[in-house]
Amino acid sequence: MSTISKSRDLSLEEINAFGAELDALRKETMATLGKKEADYIYGVRNFVRYTDIAGRSSLMLGWLPPFWLAGTALLGVSKIVENMELGHNVMHGQYDWMNDASLRGSTYEWDTVCTADNWRHTHNFMHHTYTNVRGMDHDIGYGVLRLFPEQKWEPRFLANPLMAAILAVTFEWTLALQSLELEKLVSKEKTFAQVRQELIPIFAKMRKQFTKDYIFFPLIAGPMFLPVITGNFTANLIRNFWTFSIIFCGHFTEDAETFPIEVLENETRGQWYLRQLRGSSNLTGGKVMHYMSGNLSHQIEHHMFPDVPGMRYAEMSVKVREICARYGQHYNTGSFAKQFSTVVKRIFKYSLPFSRKDDAMNETIVAKAAKVVTMKKTSSQVTSIAA
């Protein structure tokens, strides 16, 4: 793990009991899904549509500063909610039980540059299966940042702060390229021919999104071309900064941990839950914060229950926190300001050649990790994680 865990060690029996309680919570929640959740997601979709229409209409009068500001803000909010509360959650299959083809997780296409199919692979499968496992979860640093001491330092990481700023500004575009894993070109694990082939659907989506925001709507605006194109650009920036901030606060705070690949060996359901807990961070806040973050302000619950509708995470979090307290497990939560400040601290700290040896009590970390691996290898009670 990347830092000394604030959670106490559990026996195998306790780990299994911990997992069973969380499984029971998920089963109990899924059994109660119905009209409330359906009405909610239809309401979210309507909100996205109406704010999009209102925002783009206001920008058509963008030569008046109040209309430009209102239009840009409304369009930015629309894009945020579409990506985070609608698209992200729908693509996790959270509303498949409704049997509404327009909300089917396997076919939904969202309003951003990254293709839905690539996201379903890099995020839904790779990230949620191998959450914070070094060498498996490409979301650790996104191939350009060093955020944990276990990542080997290279001179390029001196540009960590600059690269993080670029990533925040261009987030939808860099996420679109994430699936290419361009760093594998350097290691010769991939060829240029493979990358060219993988770029075909990505370029198609890029062209579609660019045409919509920077050609079609500005052109039909006629004399309002400049206010519309600048408003669309600014709305995309707003969305990019916000999604970057929420995602980084959910994964890279001071207490977030990473794990060696050995933890995957015979990992039980309970151990999987512990990894989701220790690798995640929550944000405190009210209903507006939860709505605007796609309920990823409850990142712990999202990692534990990715197919449960996000609007249920707030109530589930009360029970999850109580379960964690009984088992002596640290529940990582805090205000946006507090959590984001520790993210920034990581970005700057690990731009320098700090290694695990430079972190406090490194030997304790290694010993604890070895103990976990040994326990799993020798236990006859270990069962494979349920799919």
Task: Flag whether pLDDT at 179 surpasses 90.
Answer: no
Task: Flag whether pLDDT at 382 surpasses 50.
Answer: no
Residues 6+ away with beta carbon under 8 Å from 321: 331
Residue 354: per-residue pLDDT: 78
Task: Flag whether pLDDT at 374 surpasses 70.
Answer: no
Task: Flag whether pLDDT at 164 surpasses 70.
Answer: yes
Q: Where are the domains of the chain?
A: 12-33+250-378
Euclidean distance between CA atoms 43 and 86, whole angstroms:
10
Residue 359: per-residue pLDDT: 52
Greater model confidence, 256 or 366? 256
- Looking at every residue in the chain, the average pLDDT score rounds to 90
User: 0.85 cut: is pTM over it?
Assistant: yes
Go through 6-27 and write b for each residue having 16 or more CB atoms within 10 A of its CB, e for each that does not. Answer: ebeebebebbbbbbebbbebbe
In this structure, the number of other CB atoms found within 10 A of the CB of residue 174 comes to 20
- For residue 303, the number of C-alpha atoms closer than 13 Å in the C-beta half-sphere is 26
Least confident residue range of 119-123, 268-272, 375-379: 375-379
Alpha helices in 283-334, H assignment, sequence order: 287-292, 299-304, 313-326
Q: 332 near 318, Cβ under 8 Å?
A: no
Question: Distance of alpha carbon 146 from its chain centroid, rounded?
Answer: 17
Q: Which of 29, 109, 80 is nearest to 301 (CA)?
A: 29
What are 249-270's pLDDT values in tens digits?
Answer: 999 999 999 999 999 999 999 9
